[in-house]
Each structure stands twice: as structure tokens, then as C-alpha cells.
């Protein structure tokens, strides 16, 4: 066969010869091996079943692809693309087996393969399981369940028939019962009539009392509203008292007190200065000054006089001189010189106390103690008094008085202004005095609190009656009072009202109980009358139920017949299923032989066993001769088994003209296993006359196949 790639991927007007034996495409990555692989898949796929595959190819290589073969491939040998991909096309990354035993999940391509293997894609095993489930299962659709259901229905019908038979025998007793029930009904009806009459009479009195209560309540409420208006009007008229002026009043009174204190202080100053002026006028301070100055001079003279040599010192000096002269002249006569000086010792001098007393006697205006005997201390006192007198003589008392008078006038003016301000504020507040304002303020605040509480209470009442404000509440009260004008205020008595209320509640309970009894009696009469009326229908019902019971017996017989038929069908299908098991056994043996050829191993007769297409039904003997699921084998062993299984299926469904496509299927094999596998592939192609196309980048595979004749090798670049 000649493959012509007129426009396919990287190939333009390129042709390749495909051998009827082995064809090898060798080349590195990106050399076009996958492109040639896809072109062959595209040629061998059925057009009507390959829309998805065709779309994938065109997305990969473009919409303008152009590929053909010479001779052209007959439609009869083309397959579903998934069938070709899962059997004839073996890629290095897709050496898997995607077939399943599940009919529900079976794809179209799987059905195609199963029909060729088993002459049908029907899952016989599943059919046998469904048949067994139907005649021996527990599901609602199973025969045992249906038989049990019919038995229950028959038992229910029998019970109902027994009840109906009993009813047919109780007709006379039902008539007596209806008569008795009618007597009870009349008694209860009369009793209820009397209770309702009693209730209506009491309710009239109760309603009158309730209206009196409402009127009293509305009158009290109206009184509260009027009281609120009065208080609110007073608050509005004296709104000025809402603000607290106590701080302002306190500030003014403090200013007045400070000014009055200052006024008293200035008056004291002025009085003192005036007194000093009067005293100066009555006392001759200049004369006192002269006498003090003379006294100070006299003290200074006395002090200076007392600074002379004392008498005993003088005597000592004279004695010392006389002794020196006696010694010098060696004559004791010179000691006589001391004698004339001795009388000097007895001459008396004036004492300090007497002189000080004489000085103070000259100054009677001064308040100085006469007990002083120290001239220096006295002189200091006299100097201080002299300084005071000089200040008095030189003072300007009149100027100070004028200054204080001017300040006093200013203070009085300020005091008058503060008093005027206080008076204006009190007038503004309509208060006689400060105490009166505080009393008014306390009363206003207390009234404001009472009014606020009263307002909140009235607004709650208004909201309770769905009214907007107090005015609407007042209007509502007047309306109700007018409506209840005929009812006197004294008509209401709380104790009497509660007594009537309790009587009404008791009567309501009694009436309710009587109603319940009447309803029960009426229902019982209705039911019993219905039973009497239905006695004619009971016979028909019995006939119908007996007919239904007969039908259920017939259905039970038919279901048992179906059960026997299903058991027979199970035996027939089991024989057919045994043939399918023989096919799987044949596939297992074929796969084992092919696996031994591919790997060079020597598996036992049951080395590979397939009991179905599901992966959990494909088992392989390991080195310890233990059966293991194929998914738990090494990747190389698993790939070899999958290749062997595919080839075993191909031997049974292959049609002349199809190609096996191998894209590096031995990538997980070592060189020894690759060599064994290639020898097997060559033999397999010859034995079954199936052309095989191999794609690889492995130089070892290329070199091995070069040694075989009739192998067509294309090296791509």
C-alpha cells in the first residue's frame, strides 16, 4: 500500500510505501512519526463514527488536510476510531485496556468488538443475575416480594369481610342506639338553651357594669388630661424658670459682697486718716520733736562723759607712780603721794536711772517704760519715735483721703449697678427676692417633672388606643363619655363586676362542654345512620371484595408459573454463558502464548486468566505462582500482558487489509526483552498475515529489524 500525504502536517506531496509485512518509521522527536501515525488512524476510521476524532485531527493539522492511500481502503475494513485505537493502535503512553463488562457503561466501539467475539454484546451473566434477583430476590420487583404482598392484601380483604359480616348482623341494635342518642341530643339541646339564656341575662348586667367601668376610667383619664393642661399652661407661662439662673444670681451677689467689703475697708481707712489729722491738730509735734532731739543730745553727752578713766583706775595709776618713785629714790616717803587721791574715791556721781528718768519726764507724750537703764536702748527708742513724728509732720493725709474718697465713690457706684442688675433679673423672673426665686425654681422643677411623667402616661394611653396625641385622646374620652351619658358614675362596683365576670366564664365553659357533647352525639348519630343506610351497600361491597380475593388467588398462580419459567430461562442462559466463558478461556490461552513469545518467558497454562473485560477480572501468575491483578504488576509486565491480550483479540476479529500500528510500545522493555518481542512481532505478522507498522526513535530496534528481510524501513529527518 502506498500512503500519500498530499497536505498533512509537515508533509506536503510526500509518499511512503507500507509493506504487507513489517514497515518501520525511524526518527528522532519532531521528525513526523506521530503525524504519519495519525494519518493512518484517520484513513482506517469510519467517517460516520469519527466526527470527534476527525475534529481533533483537523484542530491539530488544519482544516485543509489531504491524505489518501493507493489502493484506497475499503469501507468494510474501517473501524470506529476508538475500536482501532484500543486494538490495532498501540502507543507507548496508551498500552491500556479500556473495555468493560458493564452493559450500561459499554461504548459503541466495545459493542462492535463484543459482537464479533460472542456473536452478541449482551451481558449474559448480568441477565442471569437479574433473573435470579427476580424469582429469588428481596427487591420490590421480585416474585417473593410480590407473592408476600398479595398474601398481605388477601389477609386484609379477609379481615374487612369479617367486619362487614358482623355489621350485617347488628342492624336492629343500631336502630335502638339511634333512638337513645336522639334522646340524649334533645336533653343537651334544652340544657344548652337554658344556659345560653342565663348567660345572656348575666351578660347584659355585665356589659352595663363594663360600660360604667369604661366611663369611670375615661372620666378619670379626662381629669388627668385637664390637670396636664393646667400644669402645662403654668409651665408655658413661666417658661423663663426652665433655665437655671442660680449661677448668675450667685455671681452678682458675690460681686455685691466683695464691693461692700471694699467699701467698709475704704471707710475705715478714711476714718483713720481723719483721726490722725485731728490728733495732729491737738498735739504740738514740733515741740515734741525738739525735746526728743535734746534728750538724744543729753544721752550722747552722758555716754561720752562716762567714757573717762574710772576712779579706781586713777587710784591705781597714782599708787603705781608712788611705788616707782619710792623704789627709784629708795625713799618710802613717796608713798604718801597716794593719800591726797583717796578722798576722790568717795565723791558721788549721778546714776543712769536718775538721768533716764529726768529725760523721760521731759517727754510725757511718749509711751516709754521708766524701768530702762540702758542709754543705747533708750536712744534707739527715741530715734524711732522721732522718725514717726517726722513722718506725721511731713505726711499728706488730705491727699490720701481724697484718693480713698474717689475710690469709695467708684465702689458705691459699682455696688449700685450690681444691685440694679440683681433687681432687674429678679423682676424678669417675677421674684421678690433671691429666696423667693429659689423657692419658685424648686416648685417649677418639681412641677415640670410631674408634668413630664403625666405626659408620658397619657401618651402611652393614646398609643394603646392607636391615637396620635393627647388632644385626640381627649376627644376620644369625650366621645365615649357622651356615648355612655345615660350610665351613672356610681353604677360601677369592682367586686360586683368581678363576680359577674367569673359567672360568665363558668357559663362559657359549661356551654362549651354541652356543645362538645352535642357534636359527639351528632357524629355518632350520623355514623350509625350511615351504617344503617349503608347496609344495602354492604352486600355489594362483600361481593366486590370476594371477587378481588379470587383475582389475587389467580395472580398468585400466574406468578408461580412465571417463577418456574424464569428458572428454566436461567438454565438456558447458563449454557450460553458457558460458551462465552469458553471464549474468554481461549483468549486467555492465546494471550499466554503471545506473552511468552513477547517476553521469552514460559508461563503455565493458567498463567493469564480472563473471566471478563474488567481489569479486576484479568489475573497473572507472578514468580511465586500467586495470581495477582494486572494493575499490581510492574509496568513492563503489565504492558506485555496488555499487548498480548490485544493481539489475542485481533487474531479472532481481524479483517484482511487492516494495519497494526505500534508507536514505541517496548519503551519499558530492556534490550533482551525488546529483541524477543521483535522476533515475535515478525513471526506474528507472518503467521496471521497481518501487516504491522512500527514507529520508534530507538536505534536498537532499527538495527535489529535491518537484519530481517522484507522489512521496509523509512528513516525520517
Query: Which tens digit of pLDDT belongs to each residue from 477-536?
Result: 888 888 887 665 455 667 777 888 888 888 889 889 999 999 998 888 888 777 666 666
- Alpha-carbon gap, residue 361 to 47, rounded angstroms: 164
Q: Is the dihedral of CA 663, 664, 666, 667 positive or negative?
A: negative
- Alpha-carbon gap, residue 704 to 577, rounded angstroms: 45
Enter the C-alpha cell of residue 471: 388632644
Task: Please say if the pLDDT value at position 350 is more than 50.
Answer: no
- Alpha-carbon gap, residue 77 to 691, rounded angstroms: 14
Task: Please say if the pLDDT value at position 579 is more than 70.
Answer: no
- Alpha-carbon gap, residue 713 to 702, rounded angstroms: 8
What is the mean pLDDT of the segment spanning 204-211?
82
- Alpha-carbon gap, residue 104 to 448, rounded angstroms: 90
Classify strands 711-715 and 22-26 as parallel, antiparallel or unpaired: parallel
Q: Which of 135-149, 400-414, 637-651 has the highest mean pLDDT?
A: 400-414
Which residues of 44-97 form beta strands (DSSP E)? 66-70, 89-91
Confidence at 137, pLDDT banded by 50, 70, 90: confident
Phi, then psi, of 89 in degrees rounded to 5: -100, 115
Task: Please say if the pLDDT value at position 104 is more than 80.
Answer: no
- Per-residue model confidence (pLDDT) at position 529: 76
Query: What distances in angstroms separate CA 139 from CA 132, 155, 161, one per listed residue?
Result: 11, 21, 30
- Per-residue model confidence (pLDDT) at position 487: 61
The string of pLDDT tens digits covering residues 318-345 is 777 878 877 777 777 766 766 666 665 5
Confidence at 570, pLDDT banded by 50, 70, 90: low
Enter the C-alpha cell of residue 659: 494495519
Query: What distances in angstroms separate CA 280 from CA 276, 390, 515, 528, 630, one per listed residue?
Result: 6, 12, 125, 143, 146
Query: What distances in angstroms separate CA 486 from CA 201, 491, 492, 628, one per listed residue?
Result: 20, 11, 13, 109
Task: Please say if the pLDDT value at position 121 is more than 50.
Answer: no
Of 26-35, 300-309, 362-371, the poorest mean pLDDT is in 300-309
Answer for the pair 538, 167: CB distance below 8 angstroms, yes or no: yes
What is the mean pLDDT of the segment spanning 603-631?
73
Confidence at 713, pLDDT banded by 50, 70, 90: very high
Query: What distances in angstroms separate CA 174 from CA 123, 166, 311, one per listed residue?
Result: 66, 12, 174
Question: Is the peptide bond prior to 512 cis by the omega test (within 30 degrees of 0)?
Answer: no
**In a 3-state reduction of DSSP, which class is residue 17?**
strand
Percent of the chain predicted with pLDDT > 90: 16
**In a 3-state reduction of DSSP, which class is residue 716?**
coil
- Per-residue model confidence (pLDDT) at position 712: 92
Query: Per DSSP, what are the bridge partners of residue 539?
Result: none
Percent of the chain predicted with pLDDT > 70: 81
- Per-residue model confidence (pLDDT) at position 297: 84
Query: What distances in angstroms separate CA 390 from CA 265, 273, 294, 366, 397, one per listed residue?
Result: 27, 16, 15, 14, 14
- Alpha-carbon gap, residue 435 to 433, rounded angstroms: 6
Q: For all residues of the chain together, what is the average pLDDT?
A: 80
- Alpha-carbon gap, residue 326 to 328, rounded angstroms: 6
Task: Please say if the pLDDT value at position 452 is more than 90.
Answer: yes
Dihedral Cα 332, 333, 334, 335, nearest 10 deg: 70
DSSP per residue over 502-517, as a string?
HHHHHHHHHHHHHHHH
What is the distance of C-alpha 479 from the center of its chain? 54
- Alpha-carbon gap, residue 372 to 381, rounded angstroms: 11
**In a 3-state reduction of DSSP, which class is residue 73?**
coil
Phi, then psi, of 660 in degrees rounded to 5: -95, 130
- Per-residue model confidence (pLDDT) at position 582: 65
Phi, then psi, of 667 in degrees rounded to 5: -65, -25
Task: Please say if the pLDDT value at position 48 is more than 60.
Answer: no
Enter the C-alpha cell of residue 572: 438456558
Q: Assign residue 324 a region (left: φ > 0; alpha: ψ between -120 and 50; beta: otherwise).
A: alpha
Residue with more model confidence, 631 or 455 = 455
- Alpha-carbon gap, residue 190 to 16, rounded angstroms: 116
- Per-residue model confidence (pLDDT) at position 23: 95
Residue with more model confidence, 239 or 273 = 239
Task: Please say if the pLDDT value at position 553 is more than 90.
Answer: no
Dihedral Cα 106, 112, 118, 119, nearest 10 deg: 130
DSSP per residue over 216-275, as a string?
HHHHHHHHHHHHHHHHHHHHHHTGGGGS--HHHHHHHHHHHHHHHHHHHHHHHHHHHHHH
- Nearest of 441, 481, 448, 21 to residue 248 by alpha carbon: 441
- Per-residue model confidence (pLDDT) at position 63: 84
The string of pLDDT tens digits covering residues 151-194 is 888 888 888 878 877 766 666 677 778 888 888 889 999 988 99
Enter the C-alpha cell of residue 247: 449661677
- Per-residue model confidence (pLDDT) at position 115: 61
Residue holding cell 521496509? 712
Task: Please say if the pLDDT value at position 118 is more than 70.
Answer: no
Answer for the pair 597, 683: CB distance below 8 angstroms, yes or no: yes
Sheet architecture: strand order including 711-715: 89-91, 660-663, 692-696, 22-26, 711-715
Amino acid at each position: 500500500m502506498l500512503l500519500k500525504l498530499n497536505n498533512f502536517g509537515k508533509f506536503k506531496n510526500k509518499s511512503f510505501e507500507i509493506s504487507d509485512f513489517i514497515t518501520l518509521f525511524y526518527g528522532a522527536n519532531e521528525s513526523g512519526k506521530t503525524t504519519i501515525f495519525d494519518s493512518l488512524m484517520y484513513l482506517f476510521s469510519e467517517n460516520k463514527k469519527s466526527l470527534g476524532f476527525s475534529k481533533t485531527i483537523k484542530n491539530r493539522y488544519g482544516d485543509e488536510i489531504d491524505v489518501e492511500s493507493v489502493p484506497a481502503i475499503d469501507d468494510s475494513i474501517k473501524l470506529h476510531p476508538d475500536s482501532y485505537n484500543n486494538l490495532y493502535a498501540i502507543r507507548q503512553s496508551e498500552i491500556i485496556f479500556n473495555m468493560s463488562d458493564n452493559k450500561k457503561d459499554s461504548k459503541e466501539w466495545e459493542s462492535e468488538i463484543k459482537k464479533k467475539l460472542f456473536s452478541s454484546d449482551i451481558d449474559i451473566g448480568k441477565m442471569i443475575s437479574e433473573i435470579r434477583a427476580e424469582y429469588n430476590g428481596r427487591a420490590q420487583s421480585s416474585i417473593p416480594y410480590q407473592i408476600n404482598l398479595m398474601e398481605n392484601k388477601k389477609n386484609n380483604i379477609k379481615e374487612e369481610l369479617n367486619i362487614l359480616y358482623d355489621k350485617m348482623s347488628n342492624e336492629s341494635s343500631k336502630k335502638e342506639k339511634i333512638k337513645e342518642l336522639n334522646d340524649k341530643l334533645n336533653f343537651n339541646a334544652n340544657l344548652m338553651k337554658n344556659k345560653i339564656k342565663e348567660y345572656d341575662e348575666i351578660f347584659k348586667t355585665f356589659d352595663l357594669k363594663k360600660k360604667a367601668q369604661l366611663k369611670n376610667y375615661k372620666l378619670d383619664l379626662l381629669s388627668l388630661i385637664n390637670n396636664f393642661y393646667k400644669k402645662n399652661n403654668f409651665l408655658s407661662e413661666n417658661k423663663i424658670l426652665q433655665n437655671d439662673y442660680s449661677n448668675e444670681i450667685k455671681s452678682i451677689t458675690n460681686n455685691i459682697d466683695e464691693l461692700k467689703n471694699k467699701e467698709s475697708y475704704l471707710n475705715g481707712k478714711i476714718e483713720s486718716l481723719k483721726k490722725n489729722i485731728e490728733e495732729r491738730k491737738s498735739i504740738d509735734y514740733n515741740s515734741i520733736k525738739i525735746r526728743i532731739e535734746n534728750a538724744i543730745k543729753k544721752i550722747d553727752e552722758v555716754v561720752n562723759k562716762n567714757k573717762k578713766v574710772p576712779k579706781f583706775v586713777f587710784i591705781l595709776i597714782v599708787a603705781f607712780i608712788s611705788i616707782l618713785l619710792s623704789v627709784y629714790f629708795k625713799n618710802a616717803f613717796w608713798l604718801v603721794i597716794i593719800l591726797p587721791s583717796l578722798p576722790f574715791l568717795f565723791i558721788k556721781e549721778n546714776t543712769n536711772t536718775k538721768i533716764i528718768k529726768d529725760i523721760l519726764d521731759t517727754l510725757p507724750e511718749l509711751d516709754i517704760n521708766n524701768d530702762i537703764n540702758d542709754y543705747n536702748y533708750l536712744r534707739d527708742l527715741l530715734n524711732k519715735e522721732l522718725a514717726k513724728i517726722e513722718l506725721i509732720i511731713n505726711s499728706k493725709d488730705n491727699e490720701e483721703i481724697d484718693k480713698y474718697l474717689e475710690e469709695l465713690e467708684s465702689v458705691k457706684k459699682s455696688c449700685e449697678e450690681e444691685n440694679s442688675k440683681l433687681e432687674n433679673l429678679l423682676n424678669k423672673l417675677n421674684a421678690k427676692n433671691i429666696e423667693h426665686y429659689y423657692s419658685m425654681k424648686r416648685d417649677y422643677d418639681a412641677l415640670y417633672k410631674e408634668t413630664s411623667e403625666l405626659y408620658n402616661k397619657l401618651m402611652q394611653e393614646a398609643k394603646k388606643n392607636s391615637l396620635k396625641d393627647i388632644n385626640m385622646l381627649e376627644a376620644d374620652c369625650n366621645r365615649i363619655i357622651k356615648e355612655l351619658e345615660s350610665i351613672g358614675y356610681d353604677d360601677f362596683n369592682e367586686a360586683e363586676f368581678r363576680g359577674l365576670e367569673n359567672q360568665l366564664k363558668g357559663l362559657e365553659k359549661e356551654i362549651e362542654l354541652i356543645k362538645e357533647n352535642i357534636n359527639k352525639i351528632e357524629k355518632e348519630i350520623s355514623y350509625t345512620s350511615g351504617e344503617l343506610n349503608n347496609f344495602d351497600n354492604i352486600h355489594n361491597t362483600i361481593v366486590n371484595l370476594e371477587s378481588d380475593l379470587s383475582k389475587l388467588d389467580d395472580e398468585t398462580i400466574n406468578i408461580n408459573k412465571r417463577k418456574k419459567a424464569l428458572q428454566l430461562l436461567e438454565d438456558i442462559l447458563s449454557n450460553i454463558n458457558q460458551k462465552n466463558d469458553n471464549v474468554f478461556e481461549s483468549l486467555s490461552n492465546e494471550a499466554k502464548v503471545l506473552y511468552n513469545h513477547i517476553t521469552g518467558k514460559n508461563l503455565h497454562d493458567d498463567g493469564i486468566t480472563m473471566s471478563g473485560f474488567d481489569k479486576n477480572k484479568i489475573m497473572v501468575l507472578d514468580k511465586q505462582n500467586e495470581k495477582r491483578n494486572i494493575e499490581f504488576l510492574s509496568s513492563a509486565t503489565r504492558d506485555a500482558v496488555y499487548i498480548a491480550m490485544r493481539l489475542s483479540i485481533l487474531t479472532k476479529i481481524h479483517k484482511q487489509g487492516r494495519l497494526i500500528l505500534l508507536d514505541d510500545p517496548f519503551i519499558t522493555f530492556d534490550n533482551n526483552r525488546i529483541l524477543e518481542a521483535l522476533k515475535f512481532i515478525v513471526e506474528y505478522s507472518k503467521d496471521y498475515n497481518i501487516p504491522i507498522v512500527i514507529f520508534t526513535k530507538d536505534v536498537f530496534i532499527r538495527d535489529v529489524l535491518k537484519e530481517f528481510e522484507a522489512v521496509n524501513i523509512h528513516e525520517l529527518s
